[in-house]
Amino acid sequence: MDKIVIQGGRRLRGSVPVSGAKNAALPLLFATLLGSGVSRLQNVPELRDIRTVAKLLQIFGAEVRCDDGSMEVDTRSVLSVEAPYELVKTMRASVLSLGPLLARFGHARVSLPGGCAIGARPINLHLKGLEAMGAEIELDHGYVEARAARLKGARIYLDLPTVTGTENLMMAATLARGETVLENAACEPEIVDLAEALIKMGATIEGAGTDTIRIQGADDLVPYEHKTMPDRIEAGTFLVAGAITGGDLTVTGARERHLEALIAKLREAGAAVTETGSGLHVSAPERLSAVDIKTSYHPGFPTDMQAQFMALMCLAEGTSLIRENVFENRFMHVCELQRMGADITIDGHTAKIKGVESLCGAPVMATDLRASASLVLAGLAAENTTEVARIYHLDRGYEKIERKLVAVGASIERVAAD
């Protein structure tokens, strides 16, 4: 299996571009199932999870063409409504096929995603919402079997502002009879991007980006042409890369309004982050100050940036407390950071990080995407060589990460393992 080898200690300088957002492109690709015809999505990142959606869409019977960052999905020949375990187990977001398939074809059979490295991650709120819209749902041999001749609009209060749950229900509601109101909905920018595409398909949606979303169901929808928003988590990861190396980096395509909580914390720690015409610029002194963070739903500090920010705090001056409030088990990177010399103790959902003056490169590996990114960041700042194994996690969410980082001065390469 390939690994990433990093010689640490180089300051990053120059411009690094942000790709299209994985977590926006995934629901956008499933949304194509809501209409019959050819939808075109631009700015699609070249990632393993995107290839998985393409395979799933093909299993449903769609024709999918990919060409240099754009994807065309022709849904005219969709026949199957079954998302098999073999694919769902490799990507939990496959559950986003449930709402569109059920709404358009009246039936969906989607494997239940299993456990996950960062916590239990149930989908009970997706199912409860669909039931409120009149779906009959059964669990059968590890599959969710959902049926409804036509969904009907409903008032749905989400106990937690689940991101993919909000997306699934918003997509389902576009073809339901009457009005659906989603209360305590997720407010993430990816929800807004999806709503914009659904509106292009003919849907009537108000309030996306707030905690109350109103959707008027339509009889049918048409295909869309849309450009995926930039990846705010990739952008945030590069901002931290600039900060952790004491660098001087412009992250082109990054949007301040997507990253306000992270930027506030970077500034509090002593980094300078400014908006430029093309994106965001970060520069940082050799050592930052420790700051505390608590992860939360948008617009709070994103859980998807927690591991990367922890790598930064490992080298800051002072003691920082990081509390993970969204997922139950998202500290898998801690043991590996400790192997590089970090001083971290865990107490339940809180990590206490005493900043050290230097980290020392080591062979490390991680069990999830953002944890892997945090190890790459630590490696960029560490002395000597860091080898990050199991990089298929990284390839799920970061497009050409080593090429992008080399171009701004990092010494990092992908090495094919023996």
**Positions marked active-site:** 116
Torsion sign (Cα): 225, 230, 232, 233: positive
Residue 31 contacts ligand EPU per CB under 6 A:
no
Residue 370 lies near ligand EPU (rule: CB under 6 A): yes
Q: Which residues contact 381 (CB under 8 A, 6 or more apart)?
A: 8, 9, 244, 245, 311, 315, 359
Amino acid at 135: A
Please list, residue by residue across 124-136, b when 16 or more beta carbons sit within 10 angstroms of its beta carbon and e when fewer do.
ebbbbbbebbbbe
**224 contributes a contact to ligand EPU by CB under 6 A:** no
Contact stretch for ligand EPU (CB under 6 A) within 156-164, 246-254, 280-288, 357-365: 156-164
* 123 counts as binding ligand EPU under rule CB under 6 A: yes
Contact criterion met (CB below 8 Å) for 231 and 21: yes
Choices 116-124, 212-220, 237-245, 255-263 (CB under 6 A): range interacting with ligand EPU = 116-124
Residue of 52, 303, 306, 374 interacting with ligand EPU (CB under 6 A): 303
* Residue among 143 and 327 whose Cβ is closer to ligand EPU: 327
Contacting range for ligand EPU; rule: CB under 6 A; set: 62-70, 163-171, 194-202, 340-348: 163-171
| Nearer Cβ to ligand EPU (223/397) | 397
**Token digits for 123?**
């989908």
Our CB check for ligand EPU shows the closer of 28 and 34 to be 28
Q: Please state, in angstroms and rounded to a whole number, the distance separating the CA atoms of residues 418 and 414.
A: 13
Which residue from 75, 164, 245, 308 is in contact with ligand EPU, where contact means CB under 6 A? Answer: 164
Using CB under 6 A, pick the residue from 327, 351, 372, 382 that binds ligand EPU.
327
Pairing of β 385-389 and β 363-365: parallel
Q: Does 11 bind ligand EPU (CB under 6 A)?
A: no
Distances (CA, A) of 58 to 54, 68, 117, 145, 271: 6, 19, 28, 20, 46
Q: Minimum distance between the CB of residue 328 and ligand EPU, rounded to whole angstroms? A: 7
How far apart (Å, rounded) are the C-alpha atoms in residues 268 and 324?
Answer: 19
Q: Which tokens hold the place of 260?
A: 């306000």
List residues near ligand EPU by CB under 6 A.
Answer: 23, 26, 93, 119-126, 160, 162-165, 303-304, 326-327, 369-370, 397
